[in-house]
Amino acid sequence: MKAEELKGHLDGLILSVVASESLHGYAVIEALKQRSGGDLALPEGTVYPALHRLEAEGLLKSEWSTASGRRRRVYSITRRGETELGASRERWRLFSSTIEALLS
Amino acid sequence: MTYLNALNAELRRAGVPALRRRRIVTEFADHLHENPSAELGAPRELARQFADDLATRLARRAAVVAFTGLALTGIAFAAVLLIGTRIVLLPLGTHQVGFVTRRATIVAPLYVFAAQVALAAGVLALLRAWRLRRVPVITAADAAILHRRVGVALLAGILTAASAPVSGIFAARGEVYVRPADVSGICVLILLAMLWFPLRGLTLRPSRAGAAGDLRFDLGSRDSRITPLRIALALSAVILIVVAAAGLVADDPYDGIARGLLDGAACLIGFVVLGRYLGLRTPVETPAKTQPETQPGIAQ
Protein backbone atom coordinates (compact mmCIF):
# COMPACT_ATOMS: atom_id res chain seq x y z
CA MET A 1 0.00 0.00 0.00
CA LYS A 2 1.47 3.36 -1.03
CA ALA A 3 1.62 6.51 1.05
CA GLU A 4 -0.76 8.30 -1.36
CA GLU A 5 -3.47 5.71 -0.68
CA LEU A 6 -3.13 6.33 3.03
CA LYS A 7 -3.99 10.01 2.75
CA GLY A 8 -6.83 10.80 5.06
CA HIS A 9 -6.51 7.54 6.96
CA LEU A 10 -3.13 7.90 8.64
CA ASP A 11 -4.54 9.79 11.63
CA GLY A 12 -7.11 7.09 12.29
CA LEU A 13 -4.50 4.34 11.95
CA ILE A 14 -2.17 6.07 14.41
CA LEU A 15 -4.99 6.60 16.90
CA SER A 16 -5.94 2.93 16.66
CA VAL A 17 -2.45 1.66 17.48
CA VAL A 18 -1.94 4.15 20.31
CA ALA A 19 -5.39 3.39 21.73
CA SER A 20 -4.31 -0.04 22.96
CA GLU A 21 -1.07 1.09 24.65
CA SER A 22 1.20 4.10 25.04
CA LEU A 23 3.93 4.00 22.40
CA HIS A 24 6.92 6.04 21.26
CA GLY A 25 7.32 7.08 17.64
CA TYR A 26 9.36 4.11 16.46
CA ALA A 27 7.00 1.67 18.21
CA VAL A 28 4.01 3.35 16.53
CA ILE A 29 5.54 2.72 13.12
CA GLU A 30 6.43 -0.86 14.03
CA ALA A 31 2.89 -1.47 15.26
CA LEU A 32 1.50 -0.06 12.00
CA LYS A 33 3.75 -2.38 10.01
CA GLN A 34 2.89 -5.41 12.11
CA ARG A 35 -0.84 -4.85 12.04
CA SER A 36 -0.81 -4.34 8.28
CA GLY A 37 1.24 -7.50 7.77
CA GLY A 38 4.03 -5.34 6.34
CA ASP A 39 1.81 -3.83 3.64
CA LEU A 40 2.13 -0.24 4.85
CA ALA A 41 4.93 1.39 2.89
CA LEU A 42 5.25 4.99 3.94
CA PRO A 43 8.37 7.00 4.71
CA GLU A 44 8.69 6.37 8.44
CA GLY A 45 9.43 10.03 9.18
CA THR A 46 5.99 11.14 7.99
CA VAL A 47 4.43 9.58 11.07
CA TYR A 48 6.10 12.16 13.33
CA PRO A 49 4.40 15.26 11.86
CA ALA A 50 1.11 13.37 12.19
CA LEU A 51 1.86 12.52 15.83
CA HIS A 52 2.65 16.17 16.57
CA ARG A 53 -0.49 17.34 14.78
CA LEU A 54 -2.70 14.86 16.63
CA GLU A 55 -1.21 16.01 19.91
CA ALA A 56 -1.82 19.67 19.01
CA GLU A 57 -5.43 18.80 18.25
CA GLY A 58 -5.79 17.23 21.68
CA LEU A 59 -6.29 13.71 20.34
CA LEU A 60 -3.00 12.43 21.73
CA LYS A 61 -0.89 13.42 24.72
CA SER A 62 2.79 12.75 25.19
CA GLU A 63 5.52 12.81 27.78
CA TRP A 64 9.23 12.15 27.92
CA SER A 65 10.51 8.85 29.20
CA THR A 66 13.98 7.39 29.39
CA ALA A 67 14.96 4.04 27.90
CA SER A 68 18.58 2.80 28.08
CA GLY A 69 19.69 6.36 28.86
CA ARG A 70 17.93 7.79 25.80
CA ARG A 71 15.08 10.25 25.97
CA ARG A 72 12.01 9.32 23.98
CA ARG A 73 8.56 10.80 23.60
CA VAL A 74 5.76 8.40 24.52
CA TYR A 75 2.30 9.01 23.11
CA SER A 76 -1.05 7.95 24.53
CA ILE A 77 -4.60 8.59 23.44
CA THR A 78 -6.86 11.14 25.11
CA ARG A 79 -10.58 10.89 25.70
CA ARG A 80 -11.13 13.16 22.72
CA GLY A 81 -8.86 10.90 20.71
CA GLU A 82 -10.96 7.87 21.62
CA THR A 83 -14.09 9.67 20.48
CA GLU A 84 -12.39 10.66 17.23
CA LEU A 85 -11.19 7.08 16.74
CA GLY A 86 -14.76 5.83 17.07
CA ALA A 87 -15.92 8.40 14.52
CA SER A 88 -13.02 7.49 12.23
CA ARG A 89 -13.97 3.80 12.37
CA GLU A 90 -17.56 4.66 11.57
CA ARG A 91 -16.51 6.81 8.59
CA TRP A 92 -14.32 3.99 7.33
CA ARG A 93 -17.12 1.41 7.64
CA LEU A 94 -19.43 3.65 5.63
CA PHE A 95 -16.78 4.44 3.04
CA SER A 96 -15.60 0.86 2.57
CA SER A 97 -19.11 -0.57 2.38
CA THR A 98 -20.05 2.03 -0.25
CA ILE A 99 -16.97 1.34 -2.36
CA GLU A 100 -17.40 -2.42 -1.89
CA ALA A 101 -20.99 -2.18 -3.13
CA LEU A 102 -19.93 -0.15 -6.15
CA LEU A 103 -16.96 -2.30 -7.11
CA SER A 104 -18.71 -5.60 -6.70
CA MET B 1 26.38 16.32 7.21
CA THR B 2 24.48 13.70 9.21
CA TYR B 3 20.78 13.11 8.70
CA LEU B 4 19.95 14.66 12.09
CA ASN B 5 22.08 17.75 11.38
CA ALA B 6 20.40 18.14 8.00
CA LEU B 7 16.96 17.76 9.60
CA ASN B 8 17.80 20.33 12.26
CA ALA B 9 19.06 22.79 9.63
CA GLU B 10 15.95 22.34 7.49
CA LEU B 11 13.67 22.76 10.51
CA ARG B 12 15.48 25.98 11.41
CA ARG B 13 15.19 27.21 7.84
CA ALA B 14 11.48 26.43 7.80
CA GLY B 15 11.01 28.59 10.92
CA VAL B 16 10.28 25.80 13.41
CA PRO B 17 10.95 27.14 16.94
CA ALA B 18 14.07 25.93 18.79
CA LEU B 19 12.21 24.01 21.49
CA ARG B 20 10.14 22.11 18.94
CA ARG B 21 13.26 21.49 16.83
CA ARG B 22 15.03 19.89 19.77
CA ARG B 23 12.09 17.65 20.45
CA ILE B 24 11.80 16.54 16.81
CA VAL B 25 15.51 15.83 16.48
CA THR B 26 15.50 13.87 19.76
CA GLU B 27 12.60 11.75 18.51
CA PHE B 28 14.33 11.08 15.19
CA ALA B 29 17.60 10.28 17.00
CA ASP B 30 15.78 7.70 19.09
CA HIS B 31 14.22 6.28 15.94
CA LEU B 32 17.60 5.98 14.21
CA HIS B 33 19.05 4.35 17.30
CA GLU B 34 16.33 1.69 17.13
CA ASN B 35 16.80 1.22 13.40
CA PRO B 36 19.89 2.87 11.87
CA SER B 37 18.77 1.97 8.35
CA ALA B 38 15.28 3.45 8.73
CA GLU B 39 13.94 5.35 5.72
CA LEU B 40 12.75 8.51 7.41
CA GLY B 41 12.29 10.64 4.31
CA ALA B 42 13.90 13.81 2.97
CA PRO B 43 14.70 16.29 5.77
CA ARG B 44 13.41 19.21 3.71
CA GLU B 45 10.06 17.54 3.08
CA LEU B 46 9.72 16.58 6.76
CA ALA B 47 10.64 20.09 7.89
CA ARG B 48 8.04 21.47 5.48
CA GLN B 49 5.36 19.20 6.95
CA PHE B 50 6.17 20.25 10.52
CA ALA B 51 6.34 23.93 9.53
CA ASP B 52 3.07 23.78 7.55
CA ASP B 53 1.21 22.32 10.52
CA LEU B 54 2.71 24.83 12.95
CA ALA B 55 2.10 27.79 10.62
CA THR B 56 -1.52 26.81 10.02
CA ARG B 57 -2.20 26.48 13.73
CA LEU B 58 -0.37 29.72 14.48
CA ALA B 59 -2.43 31.72 11.96
CA ARG B 60 -5.74 30.30 13.19
CA ARG B 61 -4.81 30.68 16.84
CA ALA B 62 -3.67 34.26 16.25
CA ALA B 63 -7.15 35.19 15.07
CA VAL B 64 -8.87 33.55 18.05
CA VAL B 65 -6.44 34.94 20.63
CA ALA B 66 -6.55 38.46 19.18
CA PHE B 67 -10.32 38.50 19.03
CA THR B 68 -10.55 37.22 22.63
CA GLY B 69 -8.03 39.82 23.78
CA LEU B 70 -9.91 42.62 22.05
CA ALA B 71 -13.25 41.40 23.40
CA LEU B 72 -11.88 41.26 26.95
CA THR B 73 -10.44 44.75 26.49
CA GLY B 74 -13.86 45.95 25.41
CA ILE B 75 -15.49 44.29 28.43
CA ALA B 76 -12.87 45.77 30.77
CA PHE B 77 -13.50 49.27 29.42
CA ALA B 78 -17.25 48.81 29.58
CA ALA B 79 -16.91 47.69 33.21
CA VAL B 80 -14.71 50.69 34.03
CA LEU B 81 -17.19 53.06 32.41
CA LEU B 82 -20.02 51.46 34.37
CA ILE B 83 -18.09 51.77 37.63
CA GLY B 84 -17.30 55.36 36.73
CA THR B 85 -20.96 56.06 36.11
CA ARG B 86 -21.88 54.57 39.46
CA ILE B 87 -19.30 56.70 41.20
CA VAL B 88 -20.76 59.76 39.52
CA LEU B 89 -24.23 58.84 40.73
CA LEU B 90 -23.18 58.17 44.33
CA PRO B 91 -22.49 61.02 46.77
CA LEU B 92 -18.94 59.96 47.44
CA GLY B 93 -17.73 63.28 48.76
CA THR B 94 -13.99 62.93 48.53
CA HIS B 95 -14.06 61.18 45.16
CA GLN B 96 -12.92 63.26 42.25
CA VAL B 97 -14.76 62.07 39.20
CA GLY B 98 -14.91 63.01 35.55
CA PHE B 99 -13.14 62.92 32.23
CA VAL B 100 -10.18 65.06 31.38
CA THR B 101 -12.25 67.04 28.93
CA ARG B 102 -9.56 68.62 26.79
CA ARG B 103 -7.68 65.40 26.32
CA ALA B 104 -10.92 63.54 25.63
CA THR B 105 -11.83 66.06 22.94
CA ILE B 106 -8.52 65.60 21.20
CA VAL B 107 -8.39 61.82 21.33
CA ALA B 108 -12.11 61.01 21.06
CA PRO B 109 -12.24 60.84 17.21
CA LEU B 110 -9.10 58.70 17.19
CA TYR B 111 -10.56 56.54 19.93
CA VAL B 112 -13.85 56.03 18.09
CA PHE B 113 -12.25 55.33 14.69
CA ALA B 114 -9.54 53.01 16.05
CA ALA B 115 -12.12 51.06 18.06
CA GLN B 116 -14.17 50.47 14.90
CA VAL B 117 -11.13 49.37 12.91
CA ALA B 118 -10.13 47.00 15.74
CA LEU B 119 -13.62 45.52 15.85
CA ALA B 120 -13.88 45.13 12.07
CA ALA B 121 -10.40 43.64 11.60
CA GLY B 122 -10.81 41.35 14.63
CA VAL B 123 -14.17 40.04 13.42
CA LEU B 124 -12.79 39.54 9.89
CA ALA B 125 -9.78 37.63 11.25
CA LEU B 126 -12.04 35.38 13.29
CA LEU B 127 -14.37 34.89 10.34
CA ARG B 128 -11.51 33.84 8.03
CA ALA B 129 -10.10 31.50 10.71
CA TRP B 130 -13.53 29.91 11.09
CA ARG B 131 -13.86 29.49 7.32
CA LEU B 132 -10.50 27.74 7.24
CA ARG B 133 -11.05 25.68 10.39
CA ARG B 134 -11.17 22.32 8.60
CA VAL B 135 -8.35 22.99 6.12
CA PRO B 136 -5.37 20.83 7.16
CA VAL B 137 -2.79 23.22 5.69
CA ILE B 138 -3.85 26.71 4.68
CA THR B 139 -2.19 28.62 1.83
CA ALA B 140 0.59 31.12 2.44
CA ALA B 141 -1.77 33.82 1.14
CA ASP B 142 -4.47 32.94 3.65
CA ALA B 143 -1.92 32.89 6.48
CA ALA B 144 -0.69 36.34 5.40
CA ILE B 145 -4.26 37.69 5.34
CA LEU B 146 -4.98 36.26 8.79
CA HIS B 147 -1.83 37.78 10.27
CA ARG B 148 -2.49 41.14 8.61
CA ARG B 149 -6.00 41.26 9.99
CA VAL B 150 -4.76 40.27 13.45
CA GLY B 151 -1.97 42.86 13.27
CA VAL B 152 -4.29 45.67 12.21
CA ALA B 153 -6.89 44.67 14.83
CA LEU B 154 -4.30 44.61 17.61
CA LEU B 155 -2.63 47.89 16.60
CA ALA B 156 -6.02 49.59 16.39
CA GLY B 157 -6.93 48.01 19.75
CA ILE B 158 -3.72 49.33 21.30
CA LEU B 159 -4.47 52.79 19.91
CA THR B 160 -7.99 52.58 21.33
CA ALA B 161 -6.83 51.44 24.76
CA ALA B 162 -4.05 54.04 24.88
CA SER B 163 -6.33 56.90 23.87
CA ALA B 164 -9.34 55.79 25.90
CA PRO B 165 -11.02 58.78 27.53
CA VAL B 166 -11.73 56.71 30.65
CA SER B 167 -8.22 57.32 31.93
CA GLY B 168 -9.37 60.55 33.52
CA ILE B 169 -11.57 58.92 36.16
CA PHE B 170 -10.05 59.20 39.62
CA ALA B 171 -10.97 58.03 43.08
CA ALA B 172 -9.95 59.15 46.55
CA ARG B 173 -6.87 57.97 48.43
CA GLY B 174 -7.22 55.12 50.86
CA GLU B 175 -10.24 53.66 49.07
CA VAL B 176 -10.32 50.36 47.22
CA TYR B 177 -11.19 51.19 43.66
CA VAL B 178 -10.46 50.34 40.05
CA ARG B 179 -8.04 52.78 38.50
CA PRO B 180 -9.09 53.13 34.87
CA ALA B 181 -5.64 54.34 33.85
CA ASP B 182 -4.25 51.02 35.13
CA VAL B 183 -6.90 49.11 33.22
CA SER B 184 -5.94 51.01 30.09
CA GLY B 185 -2.25 50.28 30.66
CA ILE B 186 -2.84 46.59 31.32
CA CYS B 187 -4.96 46.28 28.17
CA VAL B 188 -2.25 47.98 26.11
CA LEU B 189 0.38 45.62 27.50
CA ILE B 190 -1.74 42.52 26.85
CA LEU B 191 -2.50 43.59 23.27
CA LEU B 192 1.16 44.46 22.71
CA ALA B 193 2.13 40.96 23.87
CA MET B 194 -0.35 39.50 21.40
CA LEU B 195 1.52 41.18 18.55
CA TRP B 196 3.91 38.24 18.90
CA PHE B 197 1.51 36.22 16.74
CA PRO B 198 1.59 38.34 13.55
CA LEU B 199 5.31 38.96 14.03
CA ARG B 200 5.91 35.21 14.31
CA GLY B 201 3.79 34.76 11.21
CA LEU B 202 6.39 36.71 9.23
CA THR B 203 8.89 33.86 9.62
CA LEU B 204 6.61 30.85 10.01
CA ARG B 205 4.40 30.64 6.95
CA PRO B 206 2.87 27.60 5.23
CA SER B 207 4.55 26.53 2.00
CA ARG B 208 1.27 25.86 0.19
CA ALA B 209 0.74 28.13 -2.79
CA GLY B 210 -2.62 29.50 -3.91
CA ALA B 211 -4.82 32.58 -3.74
CA ALA B 212 -6.67 33.76 -0.67
CA GLY B 213 -10.37 34.46 -0.98
CA ASP B 214 -11.94 37.89 -0.61
CA LEU B 215 -14.86 39.17 1.47
CA ARG B 216 -17.23 36.80 -0.35
CA PHE B 217 -15.21 33.85 0.91
CA ASP B 218 -15.41 35.22 4.45
CA LEU B 219 -19.17 35.44 4.18
CA GLY B 220 -19.51 32.08 2.42
CA SER B 221 -21.13 33.59 -0.67
CA ARG B 222 -20.74 32.03 -4.11
CA ASP B 223 -23.13 34.38 -5.85
CA SER B 224 -21.13 36.23 -8.53
CA ARG B 225 -23.50 39.22 -8.31
CA ILE B 226 -22.40 39.84 -4.74
CA THR B 227 -19.09 41.67 -5.05
CA PRO B 228 -16.96 42.91 -2.15
CA LEU B 229 -17.69 46.52 -3.20
CA ARG B 230 -21.44 45.90 -3.11
CA ILE B 231 -21.11 44.32 0.33
CA ALA B 232 -19.17 47.38 1.56
CA LEU B 233 -21.78 49.74 0.05
CA ALA B 234 -24.62 47.78 1.65
CA LEU B 235 -22.86 47.78 5.03
CA SER B 236 -22.26 51.53 4.81
CA ALA B 237 -25.94 52.07 3.99
CA VAL B 238 -26.99 49.94 6.97
CA ILE B 239 -24.68 51.93 9.26
CA LEU B 240 -26.10 55.21 7.94
CA ILE B 241 -29.69 54.05 8.48
CA VAL B 242 -29.07 52.62 11.97
CA VAL B 243 -27.15 55.67 13.24
CA ALA B 244 -29.67 58.07 11.69
CA ALA B 245 -32.51 56.10 13.31
CA ALA B 246 -30.69 56.27 16.64
CA GLY B 247 -30.51 60.06 16.23
CA LEU B 248 -34.23 60.13 15.52
CA VAL B 249 -34.96 58.12 18.68
CA ALA B 250 -32.76 60.52 20.66
CA ASP B 251 -34.76 63.48 19.30
CA ASP B 252 -31.77 64.79 17.35
CA PRO B 253 -32.34 63.63 13.73
CA TYR B 254 -29.83 66.06 12.15
CA ASP B 255 -27.06 64.91 14.47
CA GLY B 256 -28.03 61.28 13.73
CA ILE B 257 -27.89 61.82 9.98
CA ALA B 258 -24.54 63.64 10.24
CA ARG B 259 -23.04 60.87 12.38
CA GLY B 260 -24.55 58.21 10.12
CA LEU B 261 -22.99 59.84 7.04
CA LEU B 262 -19.64 60.08 8.79
CA ASP B 263 -19.73 56.47 10.01
CA GLY B 264 -20.90 55.17 6.65
CA ALA B 265 -18.18 57.14 4.88
CA ALA B 266 -15.59 55.85 7.38
CA CYS B 267 -16.67 52.29 6.56
CA LEU B 268 -16.20 52.92 2.83
CA ILE B 269 -12.88 54.69 3.33
CA GLY B 270 -11.70 51.77 5.46
CA PHE B 271 -12.71 49.38 2.69
CA VAL B 272 -10.86 51.40 0.04
CA VAL B 273 -7.72 52.00 2.10
CA LEU B 274 -7.37 48.63 3.85
CA GLY B 275 -9.50 46.42 1.58
CA ARG B 276 -6.72 44.97 -0.51
CA TYR B 277 -4.26 44.68 2.37
CA LEU B 278 -6.77 42.80 4.51
CA GLY B 279 -7.89 40.52 1.69
CA LEU B 280 -11.37 42.00 1.31
CA ARG B 281 -11.30 43.19 -2.26
CA THR B 282 -9.54 40.86 -4.63
CA PRO B 283 -7.95 37.48 -4.05
CA VAL B 284 -4.41 38.01 -2.88
CA GLU B 285 -1.68 35.59 -3.82
CA THR B 286 1.32 35.66 -1.56
CA PRO B 287 4.23 33.65 -2.88
CA ALA B 288 4.91 30.61 -0.74
CA LYS B 289 8.30 30.35 0.87
CA THR B 290 10.58 28.89 -1.76
CA GLN B 291 13.69 26.97 -1.05
CA PRO B 292 16.55 26.18 -3.36
CA GLU B 293 16.29 22.85 -5.10
CA THR B 294 19.73 21.61 -4.17
CA GLN B 295 19.83 19.17 -1.27
CA PRO B 296 22.93 19.04 0.87
CA GLY B 297 24.71 15.71 1.01
CA ILE B 298 23.18 13.65 3.78
CA ALA B 299 24.74 10.71 5.55
CA GLN B 300 22.46 8.76 7.82
Q: How long a stretch of residues is chain A?
A: 104
Classified as helix, coil or strand, A23 is: strand
- d(CA B267, CA B218) in angstroms, rounded, equals 17
Above pLDDT 90, what percent of chain B?
46
- d(CA B187, CA B192) in angstroms, rounded, equals 8
Nearest C-alpha neighbor of B106 from the set B166, B159, B165, B18: B165
pLDDT band at B97 (very low <50, low <70, confident <90, very high): very low
Q: Cβ–Cβ of B49/A49 closer than 8 Å?
A: yes
Query: How far A44 CA sits from the closest chain B CA (Å)?
Result: 5
**Helices and strands, number each (H, E), in chain B:** 10, 0
Which chain B residue has its CA at the smallest distance from A69's CA? B30
Nearest C-alpha neighbor of B121 from the set B154, B163, B162: B154
Q: Cβ–Cβ of A73/B27 closer than 8 Å?
A: yes
Which contiguous run of DSSP H or E holds residue A63? strand A60-67
pLDDT band at B179 (very low <50, low <70, confident <90, very high): low
Mean pLDDT, chain B, as a whole number? Answer: 82
Tell me what pLDDT residue B98 has. 44
Query: How far B45 CA sits from the closest chain A CA (Å)?
Result: 9
Closest by Cβ to B27, choosing from A25, A43, A46? A25
Cβ-based neighbours of A82, under 8 Å, separated by 6 or more: A19
Closest by Cβ to A46, choosing from B24, B34, B41? B41
Asked if the model's pLDDT at residue B99 lies above 80, the reply is no
A52 touches chain B (CB under 8 A): yes
Task: Tell me the per-residue pLDDT of B250-289, one tens digit each, with 9 for 90 and over.
Answer: 888 888 888 889 888 988 998 999 999 999 987 555 555 5
Task: Tell me the per-residue pLDDT of B202-233, one tens digit each, with 9 for 90 and over.
Answer: 889 899 998 888 888 998 888 888 889 999 99
- d(CA B87, CA B246) in angstroms, rounded, equals 27
Which chain A residue has its CA at the smallest distance from B24's CA? A48
Tell me what pLDDT residue B66 has. 94
A70 touches chain B (CB under 8 A): yes
pLDDT band at B123 (very low <50, low <70, confident <90, very high): very high
pLDDT band at B169 (very low <50, low <70, confident <90, very high): very low
User: Which amino acid would we find at residue B48?
Assistant: R
ipTM: 0.88
- Alpha-carbon distances of A7 from A3, A28, B167, B231, B251, rounded to whole Å: 7, 17, 56, 38, 64
Asked if the model's pLDDT at residue B89 lies above 90, the reply is no
pLDDT band at B90 (very low <50, low <70, confident <90, very high): very low
Tell me what pLDDT residue A1 has. 54
Q: How many CB pairs under 8 A join A and B?
A: 54
Task: Tell me the per-residue pLDDT of A21-77, one tens digit each, with 9 for 90 and over.
Answer: 999 999 999 998 888 887 777 778 889 999 999 999 999 999 999 988 889 999 999
A34 touches chain B (CB under 8 A): no
Which chain A residue has its CA at the smallest distance from B34's CA? A26
B19 touches chain A (CB under 8 A): no
Cβ-based neighbours of B40, under 8 Å, separated by 6 or more: A43, A44, A45, B3, B28, B31, B32, B46
**Chain A residues with beta carbon closer than 8 angstroms to that of B26:** 71-73
Closest by Cβ to B46, choosing from A26, A49, A73? A49
B299's torsion region: left (phi>0), alpha (psi -120 to 50) or beta? beta
Tell me what pLDDT residue B223 has. 82
Tell me what pLDDT residue B93 has. 40
Classified as helix, coil or strand, A57 is: coil
Tell me what pLDDT residue B21 has. 96
Closest by Cβ to A25, choosing from B31, B39, B41? B31
User: Which amino acid would we find at residue B18?
Assistant: A
> Which is higher by pLDDT, B31 or B167?
B31
Q: Cβ–Cβ of A46/B57 closer than 8 Å?
A: no
A45 touches chain B (CB under 8 A): yes
Residue B279 contacts residue B261 (beta carbons within 8 Å): no
Task: Tell me the per-residue pLDDT of B9-51, one tens digit each, with 9 for 90 and over.
Answer: 999 999 999 999 999 999 999 999 999 988 899 999 999 999 9
Query: How far A102 CA sits from the closest chain B CA (Å)?
Result: 28
Task: Tell me the per-residue pLDDT of A87-100, one tens digit each, with 9 for 90 and over.
Answer: 999 998 998 899 88
